């Protein structure tokens, strides 16, 4: 049996979609299953990385196809990267696929399923879509230039054809499933498998044993962290409001780890507002993710309410794995807020309510037992619902590997 995964990024890239795919591909390879990956030669934050064209890692055959390498800075360059990647993927699929093979197409770049379904039909293969977000809906919500009106409706029509033609469409949240059903995709063709993290590799680290807390000068501080992509989908004005309210609390420190389109705006804003209780750190190696995430006492997640059902912040799984509470900024009816309520492992505040956010952070700072109990609840929920083993087993069922 041959399974071919397609995604723009793969190991050794550190981005979320890459890590999730790498976990699954390496887990199922070498046990009577021929696993191939078609990906780019880039890294998420290094478009000119020039990774090897072909190599075999942990029994996975990796084909890194050519594309332009303008990166994410300019819209035209990104569009050209996408188009050339589509073309290379199409050609590589034609060369690789045989009747009965299974193709698993992710959603980076958007509409990858549209490219895959054409070759799948030609070769008599099977298509499974793995949707990390819903395009073009997310582009419309974010007001991406050119994606509106007739163009948006045409892109959605193309996307829906590829979903209806697939054997299964795997989504990462219940609200995302509901959106697809409302758009005419049969519930029989939808499965919900949450994204995950490896609970054996990512575990809580006590502050006194955490080398990063010492290196970063965090000892004696109540640390509020945001870790991951600082992208267009994430709202930060509410956080800035809370930081300003708490700027005289010398025991509070806001720690932002990662990168993204909004990082420069955040750095400029904190400098302009003279917010000295705010520090930035780059993405940390996956090998020290336990330490990095455990530097915090509480983590922040934000998402614009109009994006609920179109995307699920994967930050939550790492936060839960290291036994920390979450304060979510966004729609109280969203995917992660529902989990926070069900598992009693965090709070939600409305976008724009900086005062409410500041109050929740003070409550967790002053009530250590509450923060600890919510953290314990988060880890229990993680082990019960979101650990890597749970998700991989669900994928094995879909791929008929059990």
Write the CA distances from 303 to 129, 131, 318, integer angstroms: 24, 18, 17
The alpha carbon of 229 is separated from its chain's Cα centroid by a whole number of angstroms, namely 8
232 and 179 within one domain: no
352 and 331 within one domain: yes
Q: Is residue 266 included in any domain, yes or no?
A: yes
The pTM (predicted TM-score) of the whole model is 0.93
391 and 380 within one domain: no
What is the bridge-based pairing of β-strands 278-281 and 252-259? parallel
> Could you count the other beta carbons within 10 Å of the beta carbon of residue 154?
11
Q: What is the pLDDT of residue 394?
A: 97
> Could you count the other beta carbons within 10 Å of the beta carbon of residue 379?
20
218 and 147 within one domain: no
Q: For the chain, how big is the Rg over CA atoms in Å?
A: 21
Write the CA distances from 198 to 270, 288, 302, 392, integer angstroms: 34, 13, 23, 10
Q: Note the pLDDT tens digit of each residue in 259-290.
A: 888 999 999 999 999 998 999 999 998 899 99
234 and 113 within one domain: no
Q: Return the structure tokens found at 45.
A: 């934050």
Q: What is the pLDDT of residue 286?
A: 86
Partner residues linked to 281 by β-bridges: 257
Q: How far apart are CA 314 and CA 9, in angstroms?
A: 16
Q: In terms of Cα–Cα distance, which of 202, 179, 137, 195 is closest to 312?
A: 195
103 and 238 within one domain: no
Q: What is the pLDDT of residue 32?
A: 75
Count: domains in the chain: 2
160 and 98 within one domain: yes
Q: Where are the alpha helices (DSSP H) in 124-254?
A: 137-141, 149-165, 174-182, 211-215, 237-245
Given strand 126-131, what is the order of strands in its sheet? 54-57, 60-65, 34-40, 2-6, 102-105, 126-131, 168-171, 190-192
228 and 185 within one domain: no
Q: Return the structure tokens found at 252.
A: 């509070």
73 and 27 within one domain: yes
Contact 147, 140 (CB under 8 A): yes
Q: How far apart are CA 57 and CA 33, in angstroms?
A: 14
Q: Is residue 187 included in any domain, yes or no?
A: yes
Q: Is residue 251 included in any domain, yes or no?
A: yes
In CATH, what number is assigned to the domain containing residue 29? Answer: 3.40.50.2000
**For 325-339, what is the HEC assignment?**
CEEEECCCCCHHHHH
229 and 150 within one domain: no
Task: Provide the domain limits for residue 391.
Answer: 2-196+387-398
Q: How far apart are CA 268 and CA 257, in angstroms?
A: 16
Residue segments in the chain with a per-residue pLDDT below the cut of 70: 402
Q: What is the pLDDT of residue 31?
A: 72
Alpha-carbon torsion angle 289, 303, 238, 359, nearest 10: -70
Q: Is residue 202 included in any domain, yes or no?
A: no
Q: What is the pLDDT of residue 303?
A: 97
Q: How far apart are CA 350 and CA 203, in angstroms?
A: 30
Q: How far apart are CA 256 and CA 241, in angstroms?
A: 15
What separation, in Å, do the N-terminal and C-terminal C-alpha atoms of the chain show?
A: 13
Contact 300, 122 (CB under 8 A): no
105 and 77 within one domain: yes
212 and 326 within one domain: yes
Residue 334 half-sphere exposure toward CB, CA atoms < 13 A = 27
Q: What is the pLDDT of residue 15?
A: 84
Q: Is residue 201 included in any domain, yes or no?
A: no
Q: How far apart are CA 396 and CA 402, in angstroms?
A: 6
For tokens 């990462």, the residue is 172
Q: How far apart are CA 22 and CA 13, in angstroms?
A: 9
311: enclosing H helix or E strand: none
């Amino acid at each position: 049996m041959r399974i071919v995964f397609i995604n723009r990024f793969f190991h050794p890239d550190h981005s979320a979609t890459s890590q999730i795919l790498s976990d699954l591909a390496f887990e199922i390879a070498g046990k009577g299953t021929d696993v191939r990956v078609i990906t780019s030669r880039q890294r998420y934050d290094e478009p000119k990385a020039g990774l090897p064209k072909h190599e075999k890692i942990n029994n996975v055959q990796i084909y890194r196809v050519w594309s332009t390498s303008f990166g994410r800075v300019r819209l035209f360059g990104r569009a050209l990267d996408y188009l050339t990647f589509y073309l290379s993927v199409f050609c590589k699929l034609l060369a690789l696929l045989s009747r009965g093979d299974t193709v698993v197409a992710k959603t980076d770049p958007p509409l990858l399923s549209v490219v895959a379904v054409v070759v799948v039909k030609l070769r008599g293969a099977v298509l499974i879509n793995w949707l990390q977000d819903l395009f073009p809906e997310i582009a419309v919500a974010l007001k991406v230039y050119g994606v509106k009106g007739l163009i948006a409706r045409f892109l959605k029509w193309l996307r829906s054809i590829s979903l209806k033609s697939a054997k299964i469409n795997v989504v990462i949240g219940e609200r995302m499933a509901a959106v697809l059903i409302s758009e005419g995709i049969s519930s029989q063709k939808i499965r919900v498998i949450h994204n995950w993290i490896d609970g054996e590799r990512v575990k809580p680290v006590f502050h006194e044993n955490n080398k990063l807390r010492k290196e970063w000068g965090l000892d004696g501080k109540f640390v509020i962290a945001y870790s991951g992509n600082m992208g267009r989908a994430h709202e930060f004005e509410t956080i800035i409001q809370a930081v300003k309210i708490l700027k005289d609390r010398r025991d509070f420190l806001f720690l932002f780890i990662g990168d993204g389109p909004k990082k420069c705006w955040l750095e400029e804003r904190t400098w302009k507002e003279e917010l000295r209780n705010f520090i930035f750190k780059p993405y940390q190696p996956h090998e020290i993710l336990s330490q990095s995430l455990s530097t915090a006492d509480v983590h922040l997640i934000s998402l614009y309410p109009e994006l609920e059902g179109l995307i699920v912040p994967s930050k939550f799984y790492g936060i839960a794995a290291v036994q920390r509470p979450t304060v979510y900024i966004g729609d109280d009816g969203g995917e992660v807020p529902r989990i926070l309520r069900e598992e009693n492992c965090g709070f939600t505040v409305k976008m724009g309510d900086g005062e409410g956010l500041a109050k929740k952070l003070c409550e967790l700072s002053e009530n250590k037992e509450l923060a600890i109990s919510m953290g314990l609840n988060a880890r229990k929920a993680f082990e019960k619902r979101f650990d890597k083993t749970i998700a991989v087993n669900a994928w094995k069922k879909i791929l008929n590997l059990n």
